[in-house]
Chain A
Amino acid sequence: MRKIIYRFSRATYLDFQATTPTDYRVLDAMLPYLTNQYGNPHSKTHSFGWETEKAVEKARSQIANLINTQPQSIIFTSGATESNNAALKGLYGFYGKQKNHIITSQTEHKCVLDTCRYLEDKGVEVTYLPVDSNGLICLKQLQESIKSNTLCVSVMLVNNEIGVIQNLKEVSRICHERGVYVHSDMAQAIAKIPVDVQDLDIDLGSISAHKLYGPKGIGALYVRRKPRVRLQQIIHGGGQERGLRSGTLAPHLCVGFGKAAEIALTELPYDMQHVDKLYNKLITGIKEKIPQIQINGSLEHRYKGNLNVSFAFVEGESLIMAIKQVAVSSGSACTSASLEPSYVLRALGVQEDMAHTSLRIGIGRFTTEKEIDFLLDQLSSAVKKLREMSPLWEMHQDGIDINKIEWTQPH
């Protein structure tokens, strides 16, 4: 019986904010620890343990070099979600009795917002700062929200949905004047823009390996040592990772993460140059070929590898299905299983219909110019085809203002 093989082609990957491919150099560094060197890094009595411990400590210093700190400040966790949980719950666990007010923003990642909701049930007061239409928090509002019992402020450096870069240095300055801790979810910023935790002056930072071309399943928490930040651990056990995160470390994941960090440090200027070039091509192409678009988020304070665009008079789900051969993310899918548009776009003040048609295009180290050309072709033809079928587009072409229409009969 002959087996029939269906040949299909793989789509272009343009969703670098969701995850990134594992760099071939990272895999090369990981393989020895998945084959011959299988020791437990915490075994102190034989060479199997010593060699893996050496590799893990080397990885730790590679990650510390990337963000300009010492290796002792890095704690390995299972990802940025765990790091965010450990930071907020850890701070509350240690200082929660005297200080129980947390400030965060409305556009944070779900794990931060959900942790805050959990802490609210425990009696913590949480202030969710609104953002302006560019996606940036207002520093004056932050200053006014800080009270005498404020524990910490959590603001992400680069937003995963709209790519906006917050002014974290100013936030840290305002908070440290008043004795408030600063935590930042840096997962989308590391290896994309230069991140220096000494310069940004933050106390806690979350890093995720699979956002910087490393393996999935590992992350890190930066815990400042001077001045010391005390945390209560959320995972109890044998006291590994300075007592802050018990559990056996996975040498292959740590080594992969370290290698990815080392590559990121040396390749950062080239990556940024490459992403800039492709971003300029993309944005001039979109503005030329497709009329009636809206870019969500500030154009000035933005990481160029993340572009969130809304197309007027087009339905979101049908657009995603029409450009099947390009893998992008829509503005609503990654946050909820329901059809509700994304809370980040809602916080920006984007209208419901525009929020439904938003598309998040991610560019990364491995994207080529031909892929951008392909994306522009596919997008322009799909949008044109869908608009031709849309009665709202026809009405717009005839000069009717959609917002002024009375859709229901008055009773």
Chain B
Amino acid sequence: MDKQVLKLYKSILRAGNRFRDYNFREYVIRRAKQDFRELQNNPDLKNKVIDKYTKELEVIQRQTIVQNLYYQTNHIIEQKQCNN
């Protein structure tokens, strides 16, 4: 994978991990992994993926701030993981 794509992928994962909400965080990470893995197998999707994720990155950066402002409490699965 070339440097630009790799850099974008890492920044998406880093931004997505800032979601405190369990469901949104898992969704962003899962979809990013899925899309970039598909790109590895199919290199002509490169422009589409780069376009989509450069816009997505800004949305995720804004939304992590807004969603976390109103975050209430953790998901039951996260608590179970803590206790174990």
Residues of A with C-beta under 8 A to B76: 9-12, 325, 374
Q: Complex formed: what's the CA distance from A12 to B69 in Å?
A: 21
Q: Could you tell me if A270 and B31 are in contact, using CB atoms closer than 8 angstroms?
A: yes
Q: Complex formed: what's the CA distance from A7 to B75 in Å?
A: 11
The verdict on A368 contacting chain B, using a C-beta distance below 8 Å, is yes
Q: Could you tell me if B75 and A12 are in contact, using CB atoms closer than 8 angstroms?
A: yes
Distance in angstroms from B70 CB to nearest chain A CB is 10
Given known A24-B67, A27-B66, A366-B27, contact A9–B59 (CB-CB < 8 A) = no
The verdict on B77 contacting chain A, using a C-beta distance below 8 Å, is yes
- Chain A positions 334 through 371: 1 when the CB is less than 8 Å from some CB of chain B, otherwise 0: 00000000000000000000000000000001111011
Chain B interface bracket (under 10, 10 to 19, 20 to 34, 35 or more): 20 to 34
Distance in angstroms from B65 CB to nearest chain A CB is 11
The verdict on B62 contacting chain A, using a C-beta distance below 8 Å, is yes
Question: How many A residues, CB 8 Å from partner?
Answer: 22
Of chain A, the residue at the smallest CB distance from B76 is: A9
Q: Which of A10, A25, A270, A367 contacts B73 (CB 8 A)?
A: A10
Residues of A with C-beta under 8 A to B22: 368
The verdict on A283 contacting chain B, using a C-beta distance below 8 Å, is no
Q: Complex formed: what's the CA distance from A10 to B21 in Å?
A: 11
Of chain B, the residue at the smallest CB distance from A266 is: B52
Q: Complex formed: what's the CA distance from A11 to B76 in Å?
A: 6
**Which of B59, B60, B74, B75 has most chain A Cβ within 10 Å?**
B75
Q: Could you tell me if A9 and B73 are in contact, using CB atoms closer than 8 angstroms?
A: yes
Q: Complex formed: what's the CA distance from A25 to B16 in Å?
A: 13
Residues of A with C-beta under 8 A to B63: 24-25, 27-28
**Which of B23, B26, B73, B80 has most chain A Cβ within 10 Å?**
B23
- Chain A positions 255 through 278: 1 when the CB is less than 8 Å from some CB of chain B, otherwise 0: 000000000000000100000000
Of chain A, the residue at the smallest CB distance from B75 is: A10
- Chain B positions 6 through 42: 1 when the CB is less than 8 Å from some CB of chain A, otherwise 0: 0000000000000100111011001100100000000
The verdict on B44 contacting chain A, using a C-beta distance below 8 Å, is no
Of chain B, the residue at the smallest CB distance from A13 is: B23
The verdict on B72 contacting chain A, using a C-beta distance below 8 Å, is yes
Q: Could you tell me if A9 and B23 are in contact, using CB atoms closer than 8 angstroms?
A: no
Given known A365-B27, A366-B26, A368-B26, contact A28–B75 (CB-CB < 8 A) = no
Q: Could you tell me if A371 and B77 are in contact, using CB atoms closer than 8 angstroms?
A: yes
Distance in angstroms from A181 CB to nearest chain B CB is 40
Of chain A, the residue at the smallest CB distance from B78 is: A9
The verdict on B79 contacting chain A, using a C-beta distance below 8 Å, is yes
Of chain A, the residue at the smallest CB distance from B23 is: A366
Residues of A with C-beta under 8 A to B19: 24
Residues of B with C-beta under 8 A to A374: 76-77, 80
Q: Complex formed: what's the CA distance from A21 to B22 in Å?
A: 13
Which residues in chain A, 1-37, are within 8 Å of chain B measured between CB atoms? 7-13, 21, 24-25, 27-28, 31
Of chain A, the residue at the smallest CB distance from B77 is: A370
Q: Could you tell me if B75 and A9 are in contact, using CB atoms closer than 8 angstroms?
A: yes
Distance in angstroms from A119 CB to nearest chain B CB is 41
**Which of A21, A31, A365, A366 has most chain B Cβ within 10 Å?**
A366
Q: Could you tell me if A368 and B23 are in contact, using CB atoms closer than 8 angstroms?
A: yes
Q: Complex formed: what's the CA distance from A365 to B27 in Å?
A: 8
**Which of B63, B74, B76 has most chain A Cβ within 10 Å?**
B76
Residues of B with C-beta under 8 A to A31: 66
Residues of A with C-beta under 8 A to B62: 28
Distance in angstroms from A273 CB to nearest chain B CB is 9
Distance in angstroms from A374 CB to nearest chain B CB is 6
Chain A positions within 8 Å of B, measured between CB atoms, are: 7-13, 21, 24-25, 27-28, 31, 270, 325, 365-368, 370-371, 374
Given contacts A9-B73, A368-B26, 17 further A-B contacts (CB under 8 A): A9-B78, A9-B79, A10-B72, A10-B76, A12-B75, A12-B77, A21-B23, A24-B24, A24-B59, A24-B63, A27-B67, A28-B59, A28-B62, A28-B66, A325-B76, A368-B30, A374-B76
The 22 sampled A-B contact pairs (Cβ below 8 Å) are: A8-B73, A9-B73, A10-B72, A10-B73, A10-B74, A11-B76, A12-B75, A12-B76, A12-B77, A24-B60, A24-B63, A25-B63, A27-B63, A27-B67, A28-B62, A28-B66, A31-B66, A366-B23, A368-B26, A368-B30, A368-B77, A374-B76
5 closest A-B pairs by CB = A366-B23, A24-B63, A9-B76, A9-B79, A28-B59
